[in-house]
Structure 1
């Protein structure tokens, strides 16, 4: 009798726990994502002055903006795929000393604040590449987008290639096929799903790019993303901004659907994956060439930024004025104060993202059928939705709330956490699925309840993965610019927002301050990525 009561109690407790696992992430996403997007939609339906949405789109030349947004995203994607080819080969097929450093070099650009990347490429095209006379405009934007997104290509395609069963290609070589023919006819077709998934993600990120275009567009390049900001903040034309946001949401949803089409596995078999090449003799020639390409493409812009931060003027004079100015006020706040605030909010956002993301991952792991699919979609959408669109939605929602809520110190960390939650889920869910079921069954047989099984079995085994997820959440929160730029006030300015503000102010001193502050963010981001790479289990994938 007592045993039956205990079993019934465990069943009830398990159901309550399962419900809580679903309710907390669902409520967080409902409030922080669905509500502001819903507010945008409602505002679009009830636009002022009885003006229809089609007239608003005509006023803002939305079709032209849409066409250019898609064009630059497609061109950026092609360039990123081409630039990443040697890096994919290094990551997938070559084993060399310093592999950890290589992965750090590949990963850092992806998690750098986009405004910092914009500053770095402005320094590059105003400095060593000044002879090209393209310091702003389309080409610098495409180059910066490729720089930002090669990590997506290298990690997705590299992981897929590394996990392929090598025996079909080896059989083709045995039958007389050359190395190139074996790759083109056997390996390349099996990599196409991974290539498609990487290209779709890069296209998604480039179509919602904001910081890069703001910095490098010089006010001449306009996309849906930048025009939403201009209409809402620059001109305070709310109906026009809402109409453009609706177009942007359609683009994002279409890109997400395209991404989902390519998420099928590439026929990998990790147990039979081929060994990576240990170069010898002449084999070092392509390896050195690929490493040199990687360093030039990914380290070069940051090195130029570091140089310009101490030599900002056209006269070539060396100075530390940019770094000294970090203690001076910019729009009422010093860069060092914004760094402290950015570190605090990023740490808080990391904790929120870890808690909500882990609950969502556990719920999806324990669920089956439609709930798993729905959870995957819901937790992925915030990663791709335009940060500017989201920030505009927050602006509308917060205007209707009491000041005690709209000015809460938790607003910005929660917004930053929302962007990072998909990354936490993508890391934690595979880690949970890799835990042998027999361990949980043995603990349950010995009388452990679901919570105790999770604390004593699951958490210790996914600890490294959670550490990596927390690191990625921290650097993503640290560099968030689009949504935060809508919400920041004088006392809640983050370092990326301050850099953008300094760039908009004339004078060499403000440029030097922006570059020095950018180097601060580069240092913090690089340190975080090194820690993440040291903690991350070697399971492949995007992250």
Structure 2
């Protein structure tokens, strides 16, 4: 087992920063929720009674049913794309990976608007403008990336010589797949399904936009009870139930992920992807068309509807309205705040996430384990539940603190820290220990070793982690909805507000603002794909297919 490098006392103290950061920003709102739940119980209303009053058990069944259905549909839609990326050497594969990844990092409210444009535009003949069918379609669009990244990485690590041996013994291609490949990727398929289940059980923006006021889940009902009806005890009870559900889904994803996922891509798998030729072009083209229908058509429909909101005449009124301040702050001002807030959140997330990675890879011991546990804890609670907890906390603070412009960036950073840590831990593990030893022999202090060796060799991974943190922060909708004020309204929150208002002009503005967020997110993901996540050193393994989304948990 490789020797873990020593960590200086100063770095050891610095690695406690993530624990303190998460304990304050994550523990405080949860304690506020639990305290309010206890107070409600002491007042004579038990959690069970409150759940009955809020129809909690029925909402739990609906939440789990739509999450399971979304997981199964995501597996079916992603299957051809996984086959293409895992077995075919195709020019432009990086573009396909970008198309697959962009939906996953888009704000969920933007995805809801995109599918509203799709279902009332090209797919208007289906007669579906919202409801559960539309929600399931949007969830598939969002989560195909999870399945593709995780399962493709596992497939690429299957030794092709075992497949060739099966073929030599007379197995058909299908038989070789089912007997050799399928058992080896089955744990990764299960892990991907569990992750999709986790994400869909906490879906908020999609259901708010596409639910038509009738589709409800635990997530949306927490917001309804807390904000619209101000029934705080019922909202707290639903939050407690939501925490239990998401915690179970997170444990399931962790257990399956430990069995079936991988941290890198083997050279053997990558070198044995075969080129396209002859009749093989038929399934390849079919798969590309399939991917386009699911991943490109919704965005293209939104782009068209943003300049043709009524479906008949062309106009740029929605884009002109981005600078309109007639009724208060314009969407452009909200975008400016969103970018500023996301940049601040990115800096916080990168610092905290990098310190988590340093603690795990260089510290060792119980302190590193505690730090790593604290870093992933925010994934165990939905953003809406967390936002509701913050609402209770902020209400008890002095206005100077509650009105601070750092509140929203801090919450956004908290949700992005697990992504940064997930990318940086394998990157730091790839740094050769001998380089650190050589730097220490030459007289470098531990901090300078960290900067001149670890940080220098993982700078591309750090840039990619920063990019993911930025797009997650700029698109955060659930928690920010509870915390946004007139002067701290983010663009996703404004889009949700515009979509809830009557009038074609509001819809056009919301669609134009959504296109702005899509362009920003796509540009960042393209930059990440170009920079790469894993090229940390000459000894680093190939990184093009590393499952970023798998490392999120």
TM-score of the pair, normalised by structure 2? 0.93
Contact residue 33 and residue 392 of structure 2 kept, 8 A: yes
Distance 2:446 2:158 in 1: 36
- For 1:149, the equivalent position in structure 2 comes to 143
1:422 paired with 2:418, answer: yes
In structure 2, do the counterparts of structure 1 residues 147 and 221 end up closer, same or farther at CA, with 3 Å as the change threshold? same
1:248 paired with 2:242, answer: yes
* Offset, 1:388: 0.4
Contact residue 191 and residue 256 of structure 2 kept, 8 A: yes
1:320 paired with 2:316, answer: yes
1:44 paired with 2:41, answer: no
In structure 2, do the counterparts of structure 1 residues 464 and 33 end up closer, same or farther at CA, with 3 Å as the change threshold? same
* Offset, 1:542: 2.4
- For 1:464, the equivalent position in structure 2 comes to 460
Which residue, out of 280, 284, 297, partners 1:287? 284
- For 1:186, the equivalent position in structure 2 comes to 180
In structure 2, do the counterparts of structure 1 residues 418 and 94 end up closer, same or farther at CA, with 3 Å as the change threshold? same
Most deviating of 186-195 and 439-448 = 439-448
Contact residue 115 and residue 496 of structure 1 kept, 8 A: yes
Unpaired stretches in structure 2, ≥5 consecutive residues: 535-541, 549-553
How many matched pairs? Answer: 531
Distance 2:402 2:86 in 1: 47
In structure 2, do the counterparts of structure 1 residues 267 and 108 end up closer, same or farther at CA, with 3 Å as the change threshold? closer
Most deviating of 365-374 and 26-35 = 365-374
Alignment of 1:262-341 (within 5 A): 262-266=256-260, 270-273=266-269, 274-314=271-311, 316-329=312-325, 332-341=328-337
Which residue, out of 493, 497, 502, partners 2:493? 497
- For 1:398, the equivalent position in structure 2 comes to 394
* Offset, 1:45: 1.1
In structure 2, do the counterparts of structure 1 residues 87 and 376 end up closer, same or farther at CA, with 3 Å as the change threshold? farther
* Offset, 1:369: 4.9
- For 1:27, the equivalent position in structure 2 comes to 20
RMSD: 1.7
* 1:8-44 CA-partner distances (Å, limit 9, x unpaired): xx98x812321321x1000110011111111111111
- For 1:129, the equivalent position in structure 2 comes to 123
1:435 paired with 2:428, answer: no
- For 2:134, the equivalent position in structure 1 comes to 140
Distance 1:493 1:210 in 2: 18
* Offset, 1:91: 2.1
Most deviating of 88-97 and 213-222 = 88-97
Alignment of 1:350-365 (within 5 A): 350-365=346-361
Unpaired stretches in structure 1, ≥5 consecutive residues: 1-9
TM-score of the pair, normalised by structure 1? 0.95
Distance 2:243 2:230 in 1: 20
Which residue, out of 466, 479, 484, partners 2:480? 484
Contact residue 308 and residue 515 of structure 1 kept, 8 A: yes
- For 2:551, the equivalent position in structure 1 comes to none
Secondary structure of the 2:89 match is coil
* 1:112-156 CA-partner distances (Å, limit 9, x unpaired): 000000001011111111121111100000000000000000001
In structure 2, do the counterparts of structure 1 residues 373 and 190 end up closer, same or farther at CA, with 3 Å as the change threshold? farther
Distance 1:63 1:141 in 2: 21
* Offset, 1:49: 3.9
Contact residue 114 and residue 298 of structure 2 kept, 8 A: yes
Which residue, out of 217, 237, 243, partners 1:223? 217
- For 2:546, the equivalent position in structure 1 comes to 541
Secondary structure of the 1:50 match is coil
- For 1:5, the equivalent position in structure 2 comes to none
* Offset, 1:373: 4.2
* 1:76-124 CA-partner distances (Å, limit 9, x unpaired): 1100110001111122222211122111101100000000000010111
Distance 1:329 1:277 in 2: 56
Most deviating of 156-165 and 487-496 = 156-165
Contact residue 322 and residue 509 of structure 1 kept, 8 A: yes
- For 1:3, the equivalent position in structure 2 comes to none
* Offset, 1:370: 4.4
Distance 1:56 1:496 in 2: 31
1:387 paired with 2:387, answer: no
Contact residue 326 and residue 517 of structure 1 kept, 8 A: yes
Secondary structure of the 1:325 match is helix
Distance 2:204 2:216 in 1: 10
- For 1:198, the equivalent position in structure 2 comes to 192
Distance 2:512 2:438 in 1: 56
Distance 2:67 2:504 in 1: 32
Distance 1:469 1:330 in 2: 38
* 1:22-73 CA-partner distances (Å, limit 9, x unpaired): x100011001111111111111111174312111111001000000000000
Most deviating of 284-293 and 151-160 = 284-293
Most deviating of 124-133 and 224-233 = 124-133
In structure 2, do the counterparts of structure 1 residues 267 and 491 end up closer, same or farther at CA, with 3 Å as the change threshold? closer
